[in-house]
Structure 1
Amino acid sequence: MNNRRNFLKSAGLATAAIGLGMPQMAFSSKKAAPLFKISLAEWSLNKQLFAGKMDHLDFPMLTKKAGIEAVEYVNQFFKDKAKDMAYLKEMKTRADGEGVRSVLIMCDGEGMLGAASQEERTQTVENHKKWVEAAKFLGCHSIRVNAYSAIPWSTSEQDYKTSSDLASAGLHELCEFADDYDINVLIENHGGFSSNGKWLAEMIAKADHPRAGTLPDFGNFRIAAVEGKNVSYDSYRGVDEMMPRAKGVSLKPTVWDDQGNEHTLDYPKMMKLVLAHDFHEYVGIEHGEEGREWESIKEIRIELEDVRRTLEA
């Protein structure tokens, strides 16, 4: 009855608008989609979670209190629960009850996709399958994995190519499985060769699968430390190179240049770059200052909302 009443009310307004010679669209109540959405990465609270000061199951509720309506889980905080359906149901019930969207699961500690042997890579894929299944059950669109390989970072062109060949082979195999679940497999720049935006973009292309995507992390372009000095890749260039296959982005409030120096994030510059790739999905906040985690998360949320309003104007 309420739906019918609302329909008749809307129809009446539209008729009145026509009668007055006014544009019908002026009375549309449909909100325009935001330029981008905001989510919270669970790693932002890692110190509280590891210390037992926060329960993983409370993550959606606390996120909603912070004014954010989407969450990105980290498998480390429910590592033994991937196949525990009662636990996963409780996670889903709590998130749904808060009206909070489950976006993805960040997966660590399950082996190297770029292991040297086919047998090892297949085992790594096997280890990740339970997280693909959990992500599907929770309503996520993706899992995030790492592109670590048996080849440690170096300046060798051969190592650059071999590490890419190995990681792309493992990624393709995992994507073949995830495709049956309608789940994407995202690679984050996470140190070593993966923090070279060009290498990562090329590796994703080499994996040659529509489920293979990226999760650019603004602050993770530190490649390695050599003789006490940082080797890094320009964050803005790296994000730009990774965005064509991005299914999400991860916001840290710092960025890197090519000389091993860290700088404060230029929010408008970075978000203009992200949006230039027709990206309108979730920007995941991944930052929590120790002792004031929630305060710092809210500060970044407000900063992002301000930038969004400015860019929408």
Structure 2
Amino acid sequence: MKRLHLISLTTLLFILTSCGDKQNQKEKIKVAEDVPKLKLSLAQWSLHKEIETGQLDPFDFPRVAKELGFDAVEWVNQIYKKEMDSLGFDAVIKRWKEESEKYGIKNVLIMVDHAGDLSHSDKDKRDEAVEMHKKYVDAAEYLGCHAIRVNTFGTYNAEAWVEATYDGLKRLSEYAKTKNINVLAENHGWFSSDPRLLIPLIESIGLDNCGTLADFGNWCIKRKTDENWGECAEEYPDKYEGFERLMTKAQAVSAKAYEFDKNGNETTLDFEKFSHIIKNSGYQGYISVEYENETLSEREGILATKNLLLKHFN
């Protein structure tokens, strides 16, 4: 009887321990489920060379995104200038929706270029830009996007830029709020790449749908000539500190990559540091993959960028 008692006690301890282990496993699983899943989208600009050279029909973007393992995309309007001229704006947006639905792809946002300057010092020009951007707000709503990305180049005088950008961004954001769409200023050159100016400006607008698209690259705050693009004369002093500031208002993130070593690490940007900043910020939205160079093919660059992000977020 004593032996049976010992066996029973041992068995009971085993059962209790097993139950405890299972409970611990359940708790670990629950914790794991609570960790935000890395959500990746593909920026269409990553394929612009294939499209410009005629290798890829721009409307096949969702199909290629699916083939590369993405379930979400970010459209670039300037890629469709020819199609918009020939087919019309509404027809192009309709095709975007049809193709994304065909392949089960989520539309995240539209990157809007060449639609007027929201930071123009001339109010008439600014008014025109606000009106031109409104149709992209409407398109974003139709597509199921959460945002449009806008440029804020404007004047090359800081004080005038702040005043003009405040007006243009605020009026567009007020309209976009009625459509439940976010208006995001990207660090894309000149004062837009200086978070010391951009973040206080967005805070002063005070609308929750007005924020930033924080890009790993694009830190030129002054060029050698008064042009939006061209040789850089001055960069923001610390891109990682600047990115951390941008993340305080970020509703989109662009993981830009240029060059990789044999181990798959980006050699010009510290992806580990950027990833750490994103995690610390509490950001839970999509991170877009944007490869921009010629040492790899566009598709190889896309996959290399995607793999590097997976490495640092898993």
Q: TM-score range by the shorter chain?
A: 0.7 to 0.9
Q: Residue 106 of structure 1 aligns to which amino acid in structure 2?
A: M
User: Could you tell me how far apart the structure 1 residues matched to 2:193 and 2:25 are?
Assistant: 47
Q: Residue 46 of structure 1 aligns to which amino acid in structure 2?
A: H
Q: Paired residue for 1:232?
A: 235
Answer whether contact 1:45 1:288 (CA < 8 A) is retained. no
Confirm whether residue 222 of structure 1 aligns to residue 220 of structure 2: yes
Quote how far apart the aligned CAs of 1:208 are: 2.6
Write the deviation string for residues 136-157 of structure 1: whole angstroms up to 9, x where unpaired.
11110000001121x21xxxxx
Matches within 5 A, 1:122-201: 122-149=127-154, 151-152=155-156, 159-201=157-199
Q: Gaps spanning 5+ residues in structure 2: where?
A: 1-18, 226-230, 260-265
Q: Residue 26 of structure 2 aligns to which amino acid in structure 1?
A: A
Q: Paired residue for 2:307?
A: 302
Confirm whether residue 26 of structure 1 aligns to residue 65 of structure 2: no
Write the deviation string for residues 36-87 of structure 1: whole angstroms up to 9, x where unpaired.
3111111111112122221121111101111121111001123428964444
Q: For residues 33 and 93 of structure 1, do their structure 2 counterparts lie closer, same or farther at Cα, with a shift above 3 Å needed?
A: farther
Percent sequence identity over aligned pairs: 36
Q: For residues 31 and 57 of structure 1, do their structure 2 counterparts lie closer, same or farther at Cα, with a shift above 3 Å needed?
A: farther
User: Could you tell me how far apart the structure 2 residues matched to 1:89 and 1:119 are?
Assistant: 31
Q: For residues 64 and 288 of structure 1, do their structure 2 counterparts lie closer, same or farther at Cα, with a shift above 3 Å needed?
A: farther
Q: Residue 118 of structure 2 aligns to which amino acid in structure 1?
A: L
Q: Residue 158 of structure 2 aligns to which amino acid in structure 1?
A: Y
Quote how far apart the aligned CAs of 1:230 are: 3.2
Q: For residues 74 and 24 of structure 1, do their structure 2 counterparts lie closer, same or farther at Cα, with a shift above 3 Å needed?
A: same
Q: For residues 221 and 31 of structure 1, do their structure 2 counterparts lie closer, same or farther at Cα, with a shift above 3 Å needed?
A: same
Q: Residue 39 of structure 1 aligns to which amino acid in structure 2?
A: S
Q: For residues 279 and 122 of structure 1, do their structure 2 counterparts lie closer, same or farther at Cα, with a shift above 3 Å needed?
A: same
User: Could you tell me how far apart the structure 1 residues matched to 2:35 and 2:56 are?
Assistant: 33
User: Could you tell me how far apart the structure 2 residues matched to 1:93 and 1:118 are?
Assistant: 37
Q: Secondary structure at the match of 1:276?
A: helix
Q: TM-score, normalised by structure 2?
A: 0.80
Quote how far apart the aligned CAs of 1:263 are: 6.3
Answer whether contact 2:256 2:292 (CA < 8 A) is retained. no
Q: Residue 307 of structure 1 aligns to which amino acid in structure 2?
A: H
Confirm whether residue 57 of structure 1 aligns to residue 59 of structure 2: yes
Answer whether contact 2:176 2:182 (CA < 8 A) is retained. yes
Matches within 5 A, 1:50-129: 50-79=52-81, 80=84, 84-129=89-134
Which is greater in Rg?
A: 2
Answer whether contact 1:56 1:77 (CA < 8 A) is retained. yes
Answer whether contact 2:109 2:140 (CA < 8 A) is retained. yes
Q: Secondary structure at the match of 1:23?
A: helix
Answer whether contact 2:45 2:290 (CA < 8 A) is retained. yes
Q: Residue 142 of structure 2 aligns to which amino acid in structure 1?
A: F
Answer whether contact 1:185 1:211 (CA < 8 A) is retained. yes
Answer whether contact 1:188 1:194 (CA < 8 A) is retained. yes
Confirm whether residue 271 of structure 1 aligns to residue 275 of structure 2: yes
Answer whether contact 1:36 1:279 (CA < 8 A) is retained. no
Q: How many residues in Structure 1 have an aligned counterpart in Structure 2?
A: 278
User: Could you tell me how far apart the structure 2 residues matched to 1:207 and 1:52 are?
Assistant: 42
Write the deviation string for residues 137-189 of structure 1: whole angstroms up to 9, x where unpaired.
1110000001121x21xxxxxx3222111111110010111111100000001
User: Could you tell me how far apart the structure 2 residues matched to 1:190 and 1:283 are?
Assistant: 17
Write the deviation string for residues 195-253 of structure 1: whole angstroms up to 9, x where unpaired.
11211112212323221110011110022334976300121011111111101111112
Answer whether contact 2:107 2:145 (CA < 8 A) is retained. yes
Confirm whether residue 252 of structure 1 aligns to residue 256 of structure 2: yes
Give the alignment partner of residue 49 of structure 2, picking from 47, 50, 53.
47
